[in-house]
Chains A and B, each alone.
Chain A
Amino acid sequence: MDDKFQTIGQIIGGGSSRILIREKDGSKLELGGLLVIDDADDQTLILQINDLEYRSLIPQSMHELASGMNLEGLGTNLEFMEPQLRNYIVSRSKAILHLVDGIPRIPKTLPTYFNSVRHITEKDLKFLTKPKNPLYLGDVRSGSKILNLPIYIDASEAIPHHILIPATTGRGKSNLVKVMLWSLLDLDNFGILVLDPHDEYYGRNELCLKDHPNNKNLVYYSPDAPAGTNTLVINIKSILPDHLKEIINFSSAQNDAIYRYYNTFGNEWIIKIVEGVEIQDISFKTLQVLKRKFDNILGVYFDELGQFQSRNNIFSDTAGKTTIKDVINSLEDGKIVVIDTSRLLGDAEMLVGSIITETLFNRYQRYKLEGSLNEKPKIGVVIEEAPRVLGKEVIEAQGHNIYSTIAREGRKFNIGLIAITQLVSLIPRTILANINTKIILGNEMAQERAEIIGSASQDLSDDNRTIASLDKGEAIVSSIFTKFAVPIQIPLFEEYCSEHIKESEHQNSRSKREDKNIAFI
């Protein structure tokens, strides 16, 4: 018989919340492992291991004595005969899926007592088909064994319903995001805005998104743009008072001043403030504070020669008039737009994101009104350290911002968030409840795990330990679009994309020899 179908355990008790399975010696059952019970009448039950424990037919005192003798060098001619029979491991497992004629259902019955248990195979999960707009996340994983079964979610459903990626540092967040974006580059009908505070997704000096065979779908903005990419320069005149207000806390006097300047100078309001142009009724002090604030946040000031200057070269008084529009047009063309915000301070980064996102949101609202929304690509906005904009405190202090608005209402307008966070607990439950796909990576913080579990789309109450034990690259996908919380292994991005590139080169080796010598006029 095929190895895969070998019995690796047997049901020896338990109940619907936990089924006890005695492990066949040497089967090495793992936490999070997926097991299958073939019940009668084409019914199959898929279980997941939540816990493992030692059991023995030999009294505990005997073990302790034996151990003592071993440790003290006594009784070397004694042993436990047939240890595999008398000492064993029992797993507590939860039935996660009941397949009736291959159709998945939520388990409501227990499998036959004493039934044997085997490892899961790709065939058991054949109902996990490739959706129409496949967004690849990784391969199904049983414990640490990886099945040759890629897991896709339908980007068209998952993105507008938002995706949350909770994980602590070093568990492979950015690797996952890279894999997801790489996969999304293959799809032409999704606009993805990526605010990249670490400048890690484009691949300036290493293999990354720019090397995708379909990189015509990738648009990159950076203050230090490599040849052929766009320079991130935003005209200071595109910033409206409302954009800033969402991100920065202003006093009421400052707020008042801002609107006065805006009403007086229109879109030159920031320039005028920074230049120090005084207007009636606004105190000099307030103007100075605002000047300093804009210098701190945006890095803009007037030099001794009276020239407008930008410390980070991102905000300009002349260039970048169409940047926001260009970004949105690219998104609307179904492209992935990566914005390198590594040179921006946190608030300025959020501001850039806000301006783009808000403009986009307004545009999509209009499309919906006009009835043309469904012809437009769906949009995802990737934000790192999501609590900066989705945090309880931020929302309480500054009111709802464009991100929290998208989290609550974006679905109606086909705009969704792909939010990455270390601290789920900072995000209000009401927002978490709107995020319908969670790709849970390892997390050693108990409180964070509790929040993740509490807001998951499937009952993960028994998976606390499993989540804690997720290794780098291991994840659980809990989504209203998956039949169960699917454990996955996210491939190492470099390997995954190298392979993809190789495949695509192989396919294009014949057809791609033109263009080498274009005629020049």
Chain B
Amino acid sequence: MILVNELYKFAHVSDCHIGAQKYPELKKIELDVFNQCLDRCIAENVDFIIIAGDLFHSNLPNMASVKEAVEKMRKVKENGIPIYVNYGSHDYSPNETSIIDLLNSAGLITKIVQGRVDNGKLNLKFFKDPKTGAKICGISARKMGLEENYFKVLDRESLEYEDGFKIFVFHSAISEFKPEFLADMDSIPISLFPKGFDYYAGGHIHKRSINEYMGYGKIVYPGSLFGSYSKDFEINANGEKRGFYIVDFDIEIRNIGFIETPACEYNYIKYDASGKNSIQVQSELLERLKSENVTDKIVLLKIKGELSGGKTSDIDSKLIRNLLTKNGAIHVSINRHGLISKEHKKIQIMENNIPKIENKLFEENIGKIKVTNKELKSEKGVKFANELLNVLRDQQKPNEKKGDYERRIISNAVDTLKINDESENK
């Protein structure tokens, strides 16, 4: 056994999602937890920090938030602590520069994902942390789980062959370790990961977990620092502690410690509207909310159930929000996805397929439109409407200029409408 006197330390952070929050009160918390995190890293004197993707919420996030985050990162750098990152699913764009590239060029952070695809095989290069000698490599995320293709062609053998203390950074869900509520999320099977790394620094899953599997070192997700989705807040409200990990290692992992970055308190209010009409719901809700303690809390209100009468829109979110804010809530988030009226439900059950629904709506409504042109009536009309909708649905292509896009869509629509000649004549 080798005795090593000094233990190294690194911090493993992910999913900071800076720039995610739109509301000033939440923006503040978002940056606050980020600052807490980096301050703690400085205080703990970690040797390096790994941010495993989604440092920012988009490739070009709100500059005010960026400014503040960058300032803190500079402070980290001044303390001699390098920050190693990969792209997350949010902060990479295939056709535009990312803030990550910018910061990388500025030397504030280091992208550690390096490699090339040769003859259909992806060879990753290790980045060696100069101080600790830890060898780091990884794969960035692409939107819609496209990074799976990288994993599929990854030359695992050469990575497994490399000696030393190895960290694999990634930003994907792993099929075997997905939390239950993310069952439908795209994921990569563990078998596509190279074996034998000491530490697998993961991001993307907003819920922290330390996993183990035969042949693999610790597979760790720190989860989100604060959260970017309402589901995250629900989890927070249910008592989930947010934060990051500080890992002690020498030739192997010695300890993984969780560091909490407390944000604020939550009040999660669930309300079941089943069997009540919209008027009843509105008054009952307001009455109940009056008695809730919401001071300095983020309030999550979840309204669900099937209304016995009235429309869902009868329930006035603004009124509710005003009440809670007045009572001291930092922020109010109302989730009414589970609230349905009877009519709405009917359509949902009958057709789950979007094109079918569209077609159905056209069919039902074509008769109401008063036109003389036979081409626009009955079956022909429905077909025509579908075709036109398809043309208009087309999205802007990567690298396509806005003007070009507009011209293309208009031209296609005109072709579909078969009105070229007439317009020219006019």
Residues of A near any B CB (own CB < 8 A): 225-231, 233, 313, 318-323, 325-326, 329, 370-372, 375, 515-521
Chain B interface helix/strand/loop/mixed:
mixed
Query: In the assembly, what is the distance between CA of A48 and CA of B194, in Å?
Result: 59
Tell me if B189 and A228 are in contact (CB < 8 A). Answer: yes
Tell me if B350 and A231 are in contact (CB < 8 A). Answer: no
Tell me if A230 and B176 are in contact (CB < 8 A). Answer: yes
The 7 A-B pairs of least Cβ separation, nearest first, read: A225-B191, A325-B183, A322-B183, A322-B178, A230-B189, A321-B180, A319-B176
Given A225-B191, A230-B176, A518-B149: A322 and B140 interface contact (C-beta under 8 Å): no
* Residues 170-217 of B at the A interface (beta carbon under 8 Å): 175-180, 182-184, 189-192, 209, 211-214
* Residues 104-133 of B at the A interface (beta carbon under 8 Å): 113, 115-120, 122
Number of A-B contacts (CB under 8 A): 87
Tell me if A329 and B191 are in contact (CB < 8 A). Answer: no
A225: which of B118, B122, B190 is its contact (CB, 8 Å)? B190
Tell me if A225 and B189 are in contact (CB < 8 A). Answer: yes
Q: Indicate with 1 or 0, residue by residue over B223-245, a CB within 8 angstroms of chain A CB atoms.
A: 00000000000000000000000
Nearest residue (CB) in B for A516 is: B120
CB neighbours (8 Å) of A521 from chain B are 87, 92, 113, 140, 142
A228: which of B183, B192, B211 is its contact (CB, 8 Å)? B192
Given A228-B152, A329-B183: A320 and B176 interface contact (C-beta under 8 Å): yes
Query: In the assembly, what is the distance between CA of A516 and CA of B117, in Å?
Result: 9
| 7 A-B pairs (CB sep. < 8 Å) | A225-B191, A226-B191, A229-B191, A231-B176, A325-B183, A329-B183, A372-B352
**Chain A nearest Cβ from B354, distance in angstroms:** 13
Query: In the assembly, what is the distance between CA of A428 and CA of B209, in Å?
Result: 48
Nearest residue (CB) in A for B94 is: A521
Tell me if B191 and A518 are in contact (CB < 8 A). Answer: no
**Chain B nearest Cβ from A221, distance in angstroms:** 9
Q: Confirm or deny: B405 has a beta carbon within 8 angstroms of a beta carbon on chain A.
A: no
**Chain B nearest Cβ from A4, distance in angstroms:** 50
Query: In the assembly, what is the distance between CA of A225 and CA of B176, in Å?
Result: 11
CB neighbours (8 Å) of B352 from chain A are 372, 375
Residues of B near any A CB (own CB < 8 A): 87, 92, 113, 115-120, 122, 140, 142, 149-153, 156, 175-180, 182-184, 189-192, 209, 211-214, 349-350, 352-353
CB neighbours (8 Å) of B178 from chain A are 321-322, 326
**Chain A nearest Cβ from B37, distance in angstroms:** 25
CB neighbours (8 Å) of B119 from chain A are 516-517
Tell me if B192 and A227 are in contact (CB < 8 A). Answer: yes
Query: In the assembly, what is the distance between CA of A517 and CA of B117, in Å?
Result: 6
Tell me if A229 and B189 are in contact (CB < 8 A). Answer: yes
B349: which of A226, A318, A326, A371 is its contact (CB, 8 Å)? A371
**Chain A nearest Cβ from B342, distance in angstroms:** 15
Query: In the assembly, what is the distance between CA of A371 and CA of B345, in Å?
Result: 13
Chain A interface helix/strand/loop/mixed:
loop
Given A230-B189, A233-B176, A326-B175: A519 and B213 interface contact (C-beta under 8 Å): no
Given A517-B117, A518-B149, A521-B92: A227 and B156 interface contact (C-beta under 8 Å): yes
Tell me if B149 and A318 are in contact (CB < 8 A). Answer: no
B117: which of A226, A321, A372, A519 is its contact (CB, 8 Å)? A519
Query: In the assembly, what is the distance between CA of A321 and CA of B117, in Å?
Result: 34
B212: which of A226, A318, A375 is its contact (CB, 8 Å)? A318
Query: In the assembly, what is the distance between CA of A228 and CA of B183, in Å?
Result: 18
**Chain B nearest Cβ from A485, distance in angstroms:** 41
Given A228-B189, A230-B191, A372-B349: A518 and B153 interface contact (C-beta under 8 Å): yes
Tell me if B122 and A520 are in contact (CB < 8 A). Answer: yes
CB neighbours (8 Å) of A516 from chain B are 119-120
Tell me if B177 and A319 are in contact (CB < 8 A). Answer: yes
Q: Among the interface residues B113, B122, B149, B183, which one has the most CB atoms of the partner chain A within 10 A?
A: B183
CB neighbours (8 Å) of A370 from chain B are 349
Query: In the assembly, what is the distance between CA of A228 and CA of B190, in Å?
Result: 8
Tell me if A323 and B176 are in contact (CB < 8 A). Answer: yes
Tell me if B149 and A322 are in contact (CB < 8 A). Answer: no
A231: which of B118, B156, B189 is its contact (CB, 8 Å)? B189
Query: In the assembly, what is the distance between CA of A322 and CA of B190, in Å?
Result: 13
Tell me if A371 and B117 are in contact (CB < 8 A). Answer: no
Query: In the assembly, what is the distance between CA of A244 and CA of B197, in Å?
Result: 37
CB neighbours (8 Å) of A323 from chain B are 175-176
Nearest residue (CB) in B for A520 is: B117
Nearest residue (CB) in B for A321 is: B180
Given A227-B192, A231-B176: A326 and B116 interface contact (C-beta under 8 Å): no
Task: Known pairs A233-B213, A321-B179, A322-B183; list 16 more (Cβ under 8 Å).
Answer: A225-B191, A227-B192, A228-B151, A228-B152, A228-B191, A229-B191, A230-B176, A325-B180, A326-B175, A326-B178, A329-B184, A371-B350, A515-B120, A516-B119, A516-B120, A517-B118
